Amino acid sequence: MQARNSGVPDSIAQASKQVIALGLAEMAKFRLDKRAFDEAAELCRKSLEFEDSSETRVELAIVSLYAKRPVDAVEQASLAIEKDPQDALAWNIKGEALLQQKDYAGARFFYRNVIVLHSRKLFSQFRQFEVVRGE
């Protein structure tokens, strides 16, 4: 609403692209649920044409993983990690894809990073809890 109310055409266009990208990504999730992997992948790719988000890259990596295309999964997870290095799911999916390729050392590296990311998040949440409690 803010973009539309601003009256700035570029803001409106950008907001419209984000809405379209989100709609396509959500449709891809529905197709993935139905195990329609090719359709889900195509919807993800179309979504990326409107907005290149790490979330959609991860979704495409997941689709590729389920479709037994680990090379594509590694590529998409890598792009997601470049965009958001703190995305534990992207690291996990890359590890899974490497495991499918029997790259055990590579998979272990990415799984370790997932553990590190989750540990940092848990520690941060614990510290916030202590602050709230006044400890």
So what's the pLDDT on residue 8? 67
**Domain locations in the chain as residue ranges:** 2-133
pTM of the model: 0.78
What does the pLDDT look like over 38-97, one tens digit per residue? 999 999 999 999 999 999 999 999 999 999 999 999 999 999 999 999 898 999 999 999
DSSP, residue by residue, the chain = -HHHHHT-HHHHHHHHHHHHHHHHHHHHHHHHHTT-HHHHHHHHHHHHHH---HHHHHHHHHHHHHTT-HHHHHHHHHHHHHH-TT-HHHHHHHHHHHHHTT-HHHHHHHHHHHHHHHHHHHHHHHHHHHHHHT-
**Range 2-133 has CATH code 1.25.40.10:** yes
> Whole-number mean pLDDT of the chain?
88
